[in-house]
Amino acid sequence: MNNLSVGTIIGLEIRGMGINGEGIGYFNKLAVFVPGAIQKEKVYVEIKEVYDKYAVGKITEITEKSTKRVEPFCKFYEECGGCTMQHIELVEQLKIKQQLLMEALKKYTSLDLSKIRIEKTVASDDVDYRNKSQMPLRDTSFGLALGLFAPGSNRFVFIDRCPIQEDIVNDVNSKVLTALLKYKQHTKKEGGVLKYLVVRGIQESECAQVTFVLEEYREIFQVIASELVKNKEIKSVSYTIQNKSGVQIFGDKTILLSGSEYLRDEMLSLKIRLSAKSFYQLNKKQSEKLYSEIMLDMKDEKDDIIFDGYSGIGILGLLLAQNASHVYSVDLNSDSIKNARIIARENDIKNATFFSDRIEKRFPELVREGIKPDIVLLDPPRSGLSKEVIDTLNEIAAKKVYYVSCNPSTLAKNLEELKKVYSISYMRPYDFFPETAHVETLCVLEKKE
C-alpha cells in the first residue's frame, strides 16, 4: 500500500524510460512516471495523479541533470505534446528506442534475447521529416488559428509553425489559413463549418495537397479552392464532411474542389500517385531505407508468391514484384487499394492483385484457393496482429515473414504466438519519428526447420 497523495513532493532517481518518453522512478516500489525526466537524473516531483499500480508526477526541480539533456528547439514543446523527447539528444533517443524494444520483448515473451540479433536504431536523416499535417482549426481571442491539443486535455495550443514538419507543409498551412481569414471562415463556435486542415506536401517536387474537414459544405469553399490552386505548389484542394463524434478525422468521402485528384511522387524506382485519404509514410526517407533493406534481404529470392498485408498503397509489394511470381496485396482502406492499382498500372506491373478487405478474411480465402505464399509482408496498426491472422500465419508457414511494427508491445506479444512456427532472423528498430518515443521495428522471421 503506497502513501502517496496528489500534491505530495518527493525526490526520485530516474531509473528507466517509459513508452511515451517519460522518465520512471520508484517510490516504495511504486512506479512514478515523470514527463520530461531522463534516465539517471535526480529530481523532485509533485505528484499529480495516483493509481493502484503507478503515479504521475511533474518535475519541480532537477538536482542532478543528465549529460544527455538538451534545450528543446520548439517554442511550443512544453505545451503541445506532439513531441515528447526534444529535451534528449538525438543519439540518446536512438538508444532509448532500442531499449524500449528490448524491454517489451523481456516483458511479453519467453524468448532468449541473448540469442536474438537486435541491431542499433537506424537514425532519421532529418528532424523536419513530417510530410503531412492534420491540425484542428479553432476560433481564438486573436482570430482563427491552427494548432494541436495539449496532452490529455481539450486545451487548444496555437502553433504558427511546427519545426518537425517539412517546410512545404508549414508554408501551405500558412497560405490556407490566410485565405480562410480573408473569406471570414470560422469553426462551429462562431457559426462556421471548419474542423481540421489536412495538408500533405512533397518537398522534393514542391507540390502539396489540401483537404478541408468540414461540418457541412458551403459554396465559399469552391471560391477559396480556386484561389488556393493559383499558388504553384498547391496542386489539389478537396473537402470531406465529418460531423460524427470520435477520433476519425476524414469522413466517408473526399470531394475534389480544384486541381488534380492525385499528388505525384516517386519512391525509389516507383512512380506514385496519392489521393487525399491514402496512407503514406510520414517520413519518406526512412521508408526508403526500410524498403531498401527488405529488398536487399530478398535479392536472391526469385519467383516467390508474396502476400502483402496492411499494404496501404502497395509500395513495398510493388517494389518486390519485379522478382516475384505474384503479389497479393490486402488493405481495408478502399482509397489506398484504388491508388495501388493506379500505381501498378502506371509502372507497368502486371503480376500484382489488390483486395480491399480484412486480412483475417482474405488471407485464408487465398489459401483455400490453393495460393500459398512463400513471403509475407506485414505492416499492421498499433494494435498488432489479431489471433485470426496469427493462426493463419502459423498454418501457412511461409519461408519468410517481414513484420514492420509501430508498437514494440504488440510486436512482442505477437512474436510469442508466432515462435511455434517461426524463428527470428534479426530485428532492427528505425527512428521514423525523431523527438518522439515512437519506434518502428523491422522483424525478419524465418520458418523453423
- Helix H or strand E encompassing 335: helix 334-346
Q: For residue 277, count CB atoms less than 10 angstroms from its CB and return exposed for 0-12, middle for 13-18, buried for 19 or more.
A: buried
In three-state secondary structure terms, 114 is: helix
- Rounded CA separation 48/45 (Å): 9
DSSP state of 238: E
- CA dist., res. 434 & res. 86, Å (int): 8
- Asked whether 35 and 88 are in contact (CB, 8 A), the reply is no
Cell of 359: 486480412
Task: Identify which of 433, 407, 440 has the alpha carbon closest to the alpha carbon of residue 129.
Answer: 433
According to DSSP H, which parts of 183-219 are helical?
none
Q: Report the DSSP beta bridge partners of residue 140.
A: 143
Active-site residue list = 406
Backbone angles phi, psi at 332, to 5 degrees: -75, -25
* Cα–Cα distance for residue pair 381/393, rounded to 1 Å: 17
Contact in structure between 66 and 407 (CB atoms under 8 Å): no
Q: Is 351 exposed, middle or buried (0-12, 13-18, 19+ CB in 10 A)?
A: middle
Cell readout for 354 is 489488390
Please, are residues 41 and 14 in contact by the beta-carbon 8 Å criterion? yes
CB count, 10 Å around CB of 371?
Answer: 15
Q: How far apart are CA 426 and CA 46, in angstroms?
A: 42
Helix, strand, coil shares of the chain as percentages rounded to 5?
25, 35, 40
Residue 56 per-residue DSSP state: E
* Length, in residues, of the chain: 449
Cα separation of 240 and 217, whole Å?
8
SS3 353: strand
